[in-house]
Amino acid sequence: MPHILVGNFRRVILISGDVVGVTMILVTGGAGYIGSHCALKLMEAGEDVKVFDSLELGTQHALDVLGREFPDRFKGFVKGDLKEPEDIRRAVTEDVEAVVHFAAYSQVAESMRNPRRYYENNVIGTINLLGAMADARVGMIVFSSTAATYGEPVYTPIDEKHPKAPINPYGATKLIAERIMQDYEKHGIRSARLRYFNVAGADPKGRLGECHDPETHLIPNVLKAAGTGKEFSMFGTDYDTRDGTCVRDYIDVNDLAEAHVLALRYLRNGGRTDCFNLGTNGGSTVREVFAVCRDVVGEDIPLKECLRREGDPAVLVADNRKAREVLGWEPKSTLRDSVARAWAWERTRP
């Protein structure tokens, strides 16, 4: 006989220990870079997925890929803005089991210039989402957070107990959203907050990849300089690191997406609200990343060494033991894997 398991709000049916007949997963920001990779990974894992996105930063191409690859599991797209409560209520319906929340502005420099934009979207938008979830009795959320919640590192590798002292509005808005979610656990919504370090790479089959305008991430900017004759600007060569350039922890977007699938499983199994660092437990300098990009491309890329940028810490590396031990997550891709996939995407993307 089937066993009925009742969680905070949702009812799922277990037959021989397997979940069957579950409702769909709502992915906010699911047309964006990380959100679309996660939506694809969720459907590959057997989940039904619905996407909510304003398409301000997301792309129609990503939606087309999701619908084409999994026509039976892709349950539709709701265009809307998180700042509009009625928009998100149209998406958070009674057939949604859980939310995976990516929809946010994420550019550090822009957040410094226009903090209001970030607080309105990232904080008020999240409050609207949680309110809609409570009204629809949706009791689980996996949240796309960031290492920017930690601010300047006091020690490295950075674990989840590291002091939280964001140095820009972007990191502050993510930390505020985390704290709001912590409070919502008392009201029946459990959350897994995933703090990313540096994300890189693209879908191994070339279906999805990074597409920002403007592009601010290191690897795509190095690759964009390839074959154009344009110089790549390297900011800061006098840090106290092994070659004088900043050290960052690069996590492949496909490994990142897998972590969201595992975090959803963690919540389904009764896991309490918690936070997890997602990184590789190691780091690469900007010079090392540049060298890998040059090797993958197979040609020289003009390089211009520039002064440091304000606010760039010398080293940002994750301690990912908690994600390994609690979620059972294991990053599999190397930096070269990420660069090779990103280069394949750059050459063929629409």
Catalytic residue positions?
170
Q: Decide if 122 contacts 149 (C-beta within 8 A).
A: no
Which residues of the chain form beta strands (DSSP E)?
A: 3-6, 11-15, 18-20, 24-28, 49-53, 74-79, 96-101, 140-146, 190-196, 198-200, 232-235, 247-248, 250-252, 274-278, 284-285, 303-306, 315-316
User: CA 38 to CA 26: how far, in whole Å?
Assistant: 11
User: CA 327 to CA 332: how far, in whole Å?
Assistant: 15
Residue 150 DSSP code: T
**What is the CB-side half-sphere exposure of residue 223 using CA atoms within 13 A?**
28
Which amino acid is located at 76 in the chain? G
Whether the ω angle into residue 204 lies within 30 degrees of 0, i.e. cis, is no
Q: DSSP states of 173-208 as a string?
A: HHHHHHHHHHHHGGGT-EEEEEEE-EEE---TTSS-
Burial class (CB in 10 A: 0-12, 13-18, 19+), 163: exposed
User: CA 64 to CA 30: how far, in whole Å?
Assistant: 12
